[in-house]
Amino acid sequence: MTALVVTNSISLPSTLLFTGAANAFTGITFGIPLPVQPMKAIAAVAIARKFTLEENAAAGLVVAALVGFFSMTGLLNWANRVTPIPVVKGIQVGAGLSLCLSAGTTMLKPLSWTGPWWGDNLLWAIAAILLLLSTFAYPKLPYALIVFSIGLILSALGLNASDQTPPSTAILLLHPSAQDFWIATSTASLGQLPLTILNSVIAASALSADLLPSPPYPTAPSVTSLGISVAVINLLGCCFGAMPACHGSGGLAGQYRFGARSGSSIIFLGLIKFLLGILALWNGGAIVALLAGIPKSLLGVLVLAAGVELAKVGESVNTDARDLREQEQGLPWDGKRVKELDERERKERYMVLLVTVVSILAFKNDAVGFIAGLVWHWGFLGARRLEVWRDERAGRIFWRSVDSNRHERTALLAQEESDTVA
């Protein structure tokens, strides 16, 4: 957000006011700590190309319109149904590890024992890690709030406002041209769309069911409701220069890791952002300078912890993943009954997850990981069907009815049968 404000690609007051309102709306609607976070692919392109307000708004509007269309037509719900759970978890693990790599390479690695200044160095990072470890014994310790508050204090002590370009504090109704829409769509929107669908909608819905199973929590939001939420947030905010935003599994994992369990935490966050937005109308430069000066040592540890929390969901791919939970008709899952997997199924599901993760990290693209995971999954299915066809051709398989709802395949090798008779 700070980088986009400095390049005058977004309006700081609009971003704080509209995302604050979106936080409150999200907390009230869904009742869980569902985040409202930047559309990162759009942000990266906008920073690199120094998008104008209109170009950045056009990028968010295009993604919002497409996601809204897919949601209203049921295409998002269909995609969620047909996407294998190991692929979804692979996207989540890949996103978590990407956060960890980002924290290490861009925030923590450049630090030294004494620099870049006394308030931002490896000593502060070690102190933040030690405090993080203490949350294992004291899980209710408000770790993120403590670290972020210390970061703001250190930023204020080392503040040099003269280095910051005063941002625009105007809130204007934007009118992107056809050229703006073309530039935004061809450079930013198409790269953001798969990220939003996979990570912000499908993966976020799945993660909410994993982290906050009902009861006592509200029912996990559906992909359709999340898609409509993303569309509404951006169709309103981007028109006034707000930063394109969406939900996301990374933000949900981070907020869960640091204690958020209900919508009240997100409502509280939204109110704070809304108040900052009002302050930004008066003096936006001070807010930008304060946020830009937060030590990378502290932010890096926060992002690292959030990434680990998100990557951790991959451990359940063969234990209590959503597609393995068995529940009685009309009753919520009791947390115990799960489908039994044989050794081959376990290995195949793990391999699909692993291929998805590796592809995301190698190509730095969720869409590539999604396609690679699907191809690997379909490859295993094809191999199984080929084996069945081959055995049927050899006359080594027959089917027997088990009940009215399902059939059990029993493979009998002709040679083994003849040997047994002999």
- Tens-place pLDDT, residues 347-373: 999 999 999 999 988 988 777 888 899
How many C-beta neighbours within 10 Å does residue 117 have?
Answer: 12
* C-alpha torsion 60→32→95→205, nearest 10: -80
Task: Return the closest-CA partner of residue 12 out of 251, 248, 271, 237.
Answer: 237
Domain-located, residue 269 = yes
The average pLDDT across 86-103 equals: 85
What lies within 8 Å, CB to CB, of 280 at 6+ separation is 12, 13, 16, 169, 287
Question: Structural domain of residue 186, as residue ranges?
Answer: 1-315
- In this prediction, residue 215 carries a pLDDT of 65
Mean pLDDT of 284-297: 83
Distance between first and last Cα of the chain: 78
Residue 285 vs residue 370, higher pLDDT: 370
Residue 46: CB partners within 8 Å, gap ≥ 6? 4, 7, 9, 10, 55, 56, 59, 188
Q: Which of 179, 161, 225, 323 is nearest to 26 (CA)?
A: 225
Percent of the chain whose pLDDT exceeds 90: 36
The domain total for the chain is 1
- On whether the CB atoms of residues 280 and 20 are closer than 8 A, the answer is no
What is the DSSP code (8-state) at residue 167?
P
Longest dimension (CA), the chain: 94
Q: How far is CA 244 from the centre of its chain?
A: 15
Q: Which residue has the higher pLDDT, 29 or 257?
A: 29
* Residue at 369 is within a domain: no
Q: What is the mean pLDDT of the chain?
A: 83
- Both tokens assigned to 8: 């005058």
| CA–CA distance, 245 with 230 (Å, rounded to integer) | 7
User: Which residues have C-beta within 8 Å of that of residue 45, sequence separation ≥ 6?
Assistant: 51, 59, 187, 188, 191
Per the CB < 8 A criterion, the answer to whether 189 and 244 are in contact is no
Distance between CA atoms of residues 198 and 410, nearest Å = 38
The Cα–Cα gap between 109 and 100 comes to 12
Tens of pLDDT, residue by residue over 25-67, are: 999 999 999 999 988 878 877 877 888 999 999 999 999 999 9
* Residue 162 pLDDT > 60: no
Q: Is the pLDDT of residue 179 over 90?
A: yes
Model confidence at 409: pLDDT above 60: no
Q: Going along 182-271, which residue ranges are E strands?
A: 245-246
Phi then psi for residue 141, to 5 deg, are: -65, 125
**pTM of the predicted model as reported, rounded to 2 decimal places:** 0.71
Average pLDDT over residues 275-281: 90
What pLDDT, on the 0 to 100 scale, is given for residue 196? Answer: 87
Give the closest residue to 201 by CA, choosing from 237, 225, 185.
225
Please say whether the beta carbons of 242 and 10 come within 8 A: yes
Supply the pLDDT for residue 421. 55
pLDDT band for 80, please (50, 70, 90 cuts): confident
What confidence score (pLDDT) does residue 58 get?
95
Q: What is the pLDDT of residues 321-343, one digit of tens each?
A: 777 766 555 555 555 677 888 88
Give domain status of residue 292, yes or no: yes
Question: Is 13 in contact with 171 (CB distance < 8 Å)?
Answer: yes
Residue 100 forms part of a structural domain:
yes
Inter-residue contact 243 to 10 (CB < 8 Å): yes
Q: Is residue 22 part of a domain?
A: yes
- Residue 35 falls inside a structural domain: yes
The answer to the question of residue 70 being in a domain is yes
Task: Give the position of tokens 């897919």.
Answer: 70
Burial (CB count <10 Å: 0-12, 13-18, 19+), residue 139: exposed
Contacts of 292 (CB under 8 A, 6+ apart): 2, 6, 155, 164
Is the pLDDT at 406 greater than 80? The verdict is no
Q: What is the DSSP letter of 337?
A: -
Instruction: Confirm whether 336 is domain-assigned.
Output: no
Answer for the pair 3, 46: CB distance below 8 angstroms, yes or no.
no
194 vs 199: CA distance, rounded Å: 8
**Model pLDDT, residue 193:** 85
At 77, which amino acid appears? N
In which residue are the tokens 């049968």 written? 417
Q: What is the DSSP letter of 160?
A: -
DSSP string, 68-124: HHHHHTTHHHHHHHHS-HHHHHHHHHHHHHHHHHHIIIIIITT--SS-SBTTBSHHH
Q: For residues 349 and 365, what is the distance between their CA atoms, to the nearest angstrom?
A: 21
224-237 pLDDT per residue, tens: 999 999 999 999 99
